[in-house]
Structure 1
């Protein structure tokens, strides 16, 4: 059975649950709710498994906090023998307008500490990532407050539709591959 590891980046704890930085956790929670799955607390995170047309899709929310995400990702990739090309990281991105989805197969960390740690632990920049735009609508020097801040009421109204679109992208990635998924979803 073909295995995939889908990792939502975020920070553990109630105070972070509805923040922009936790969009990775929010996407996986939305998917789990839609598919009636539950997460189990395991080594270095919370894990659930989705069966999708003969594929086993592991959903991981690392418990290592955002900036140390690489440790959990590397552990589960190795333990479950998931090939690197079947890894998908879901992360927030300040450089994209709110709700914009962009799948990439490689790239820099873009100043994102979670991605920086991931690249350090995996020793490569060639891994799939779903970048979820959170925009850069913050005043100079207020970046941390912004990413750790909660969604505005306007963003919250649009969030469910964007989460649904993210789930469709994840399923396409698993069933059709990265290139087909990029052609279908990027920028939409």
Structure 2
């Protein structure tokens, strides 16, 4: 963990109204809810191929970034942002949808592989694997051949309510995460469900 704690929170998703409410955009939902809660407004940042805003959390300036490159090319946006602001990977938190967790579940971890998630695969290719992940459970369709269709469609009303609840829980643990108190944040998030 960097001495400065988390400096950048990235939400993964796909741009455009046709993707707004799809499961794959759970990372976007997280940073959008955080920005709205704090009264921050995302602005287009073409040099970073995304939309960004800055807010104050726990007395620290924290950047939020939504890559507008589509999920599979998110790494370039994040790399350019991190290079420009000199943010090391271990000071980055990436919020993303997670097939291997049921809706209503959220987990925090640092490092690891991509688990078949193309957004994470591209991030690892561009900044390495040492960033933090906020894994927002969306459930699994049951068969790998159905994954693409599943993540690019809306959740049921019940599942969406569970995902929203998990995002709220993650937002409530965010002060711990921002301060770098990761073990306490994990204890809090992982004791749910």
TM interval, shorter chain, is over 0.9
Q: Scaled by the length of structure 1, what TM-score is found? A: 0.92
* Aligned equivalent of 1:152: 156
* Count, aligned residues: 187
Structure 1 residue 136 displacement after superposition: 0.7
Question: Does the 8 Å CA contact 2:14/2:71 hold for their aligned counterparts?
Answer: yes
SS of equivalent to 1:29: helix
* Aligned equivalent of 1:133: 137
Q: Matched residues in 2 for 1:99 and 1:2: separation?
A: 26
2:33 aligned with 1:30: yes
In structure 2, relative to structure 1, the CA distance for the partners of 1:72 and 1:140 (3 Å cut) is closer
Q: Matched residues in 2 for 1:96 and 1:158: separation?
A: 12
Question: Does the 8 Å CA contact 1:3/1:82 hold for their aligned counterparts?
Answer: no
SS of equivalent to 1:15: coil
The superposition leaves residues 115-134 of structure 1 with CA deviations (integer Å, 9 ceiling, x where unpaired) of 11111111x22221011111
Structure 1 residue 184 displacement after superposition: 2.1
Question: Does the 8 Å CA contact 1:71/1:121 hold for their aligned counterparts?
Answer: yes
* Aligned equivalent of 1:98: 103
Match of residue 16, structure 1, among 14, 19, 42? 19
Structure 1 residue 139 displacement after superposition: 4.9
* Aligned equivalent of 1:79: 84
Q: Matched residues in 2 for 1:135 and 1:2: separation?
A: 30
Q: Matched residues in 1 for 2:143 and 2:114: separation?
A: 22
2:121 aligned with 1:116: yes
Q: Matched residues in 2 for 1:177 and 1:169: separation?
A: 10
Question: Does the 8 Å CA contact 1:4/1:82 hold for their aligned counterparts?
Answer: yes
2:173 aligned with 1:169: yes
Question: Does the 8 Å CA contact 1:3/1:56 hold for their aligned counterparts?
Answer: no
Question: Does the 8 Å CA contact 2:9/2:65 hold for their aligned counterparts?
Answer: yes
RMSD: 1.7
Structure 1 gap ranges (5+) = none
Question: Does the 8 Å CA contact 1:102/1:187 hold for their aligned counterparts?
Answer: no
Match of residue 70, structure 1, among 67, 75, 78? 75
Q: Scaled by the length of structure 2, what TM-score is found? A: 0.90
Q: Matched residues in 2 for 1:113 and 1:97: separation?
A: 19
The superposition leaves residues 79-115 of structure 1 with CA deviations (integer Å, 9 ceiling, x where unpaired) of 1122322100011111111121111111110011111
* Aligned equivalent of 1:6: 9
